[in-house]
Amino acid sequence: MELARNRTSSTIPRHDSEPPPAAIHATGVERRFRRGRADVHALGPVDLDIAAGEFCCVVGPSGCGKSTFLRLIAGLLRPSAGRLEIRATAQNPAAMIFQDYGIYPWKTVLANVRFGLDVQGVPRREATKRARDWLSRMGLTDFADAYPASLSGGMRQRVSIARALAVEPEILLMDEPFAALDAQLRTILQEELLAICEADRRTVLFITHSLEEAIVLGDRVLVMSARPGRILAERVPPFGRPRSGDVRHSPECAELKAELWDLLRGEIEPAGGGGE
């Protein structure tokens, strides 16, 4: 097992004709867990390149190892086998956003968004300014001094996104970030995420159970097999950038959704259910 992290791109010789180096490069990555006496093969082998600036969505059956893959990339877990390279130049290469927001209830909204900057040792005045900028971009200026308990689910998820983006990560890892939100809020936050990523191109790995969400947001959609999760297929949504969430109403979206569902159907047990 090998893990290469924080390697600066400038140390890798390149020629102009070469494509840009992958921000995430996985070769034969596997992860196993011990559960009592049992050995749970959760993931892999996974071979995958994600380009710098690419927005990649991952769909797959429940329990196939999607979160495990994200946690490996975040450095929260180590691969049991294979090689995982994360190429980033920033001091803080990856930030993660979870479904349950992961914000601190005892800190104000402003303190939550400033948290990562405080940890990085950014001077307080600068950290506060950057945190306020992100609160403004996420429409939360008036809630800077509020505590999370007084916010709606959508607002809490905005705080969580602002906190992750405030540290200016090169790689954004999002684990079903909108799953707990109602359909309208989900659509609004998808639009906001599209706008943010348009303004500030980042490498994003986004896990979702919604095929439509994956198509609307992704430059590429990866389909994972049942556990142990492997990349079964990948599809490129036929929409350019800038892109609006309105592409969800297009025939191309419906067609691709049906195709992805066909790919997933055999991996999901028991049989049945719909495409979302």
Ligand X SMILES: Nc1ncnc2c1ncn2[C@@H]1O[C@H](COP(=O)(O)OP(=O)(O)OP(=O)(O)O)[C@@H](O)[C@H]1O
User: What does each C-alpha distance from 49 to 13, 83, 270 come to in angstroms?
Assistant: 18, 12, 31
Identify which of residues 20 and 63 has a Cβ nearer to ligand X in the complex: 63
* DSSP 8-state symbol, 102: -
Q: Give the three-state DSSP class for 235.
A: strand
Q: How near is the Cβ of 251 to ligand X at its closest, in Å?
A: 29
Identify which of residues 64 and 113 has a Cβ nearer to ligand X in the complex: 64
Distance, C-alpha 62 to centroid of its chain: 17
Identify which of residues 160 and 208 has a Cβ nearer to ligand X in the complex: 208
DSSP per-residue letters across 135-161: HHHTT-GGGTT--GGGS-HHHHHHHHH
Q: How near is the Cβ of 39 to ligand X at its closest, in Å?
A: 10
Q: How near is the Cβ of 273 to ligand X at its closest, in Å?
A: 14
Q: How near is the Cβ of 229 to ligand X at its closest, in Å?
A: 6
Sheet strand arrangement including 203-207: 94-98, 171-175, 203-207, 55-59, 220-224, 231-235
Q: Work out the widest C-alpha separation in the chain, in whole angstroms.
A: 56
Q: How near is the Cβ of 63 to ligand X at its closest, in Å?
A: 4
253 sits in the region (left: phi over 0; alpha: psi -120 to 50; else beta) called alpha
Q: Which residues on adjacent β-strands are paired with residue 97?
A: 174
Identify which of residues 31 and 137 has a Cβ nearer to ligand X in the complex: 31
Q: How near is the Cβ of 276 to ligand X at its closest, in Å?
A: 13
Residue 2: what residue type?
Answer: E
Identify which of residues 33 and 129 has a Cβ nearer to ligand X in the complex: 33
Identify which of residues 65 and 237 has a Cβ nearer to ligand X in the complex: 65
Q: How near is the Cβ of 160 to ligand X at its closest, in Å?
A: 17
- What kind and span of H or E run contains 162? helix 153-166
Q: What are the residues binding ligand X (CB under 6 A)?
A: 33, 35, 40, 42, 60, 62-68, 227
Q: At what angle are helices 124-137 and 109-120 packed, to 10 degrees?
A: 130
Identify which of residues 98 and 115 has a Cβ nearer to ligand X in the complex: 98
Length of the chain: 276
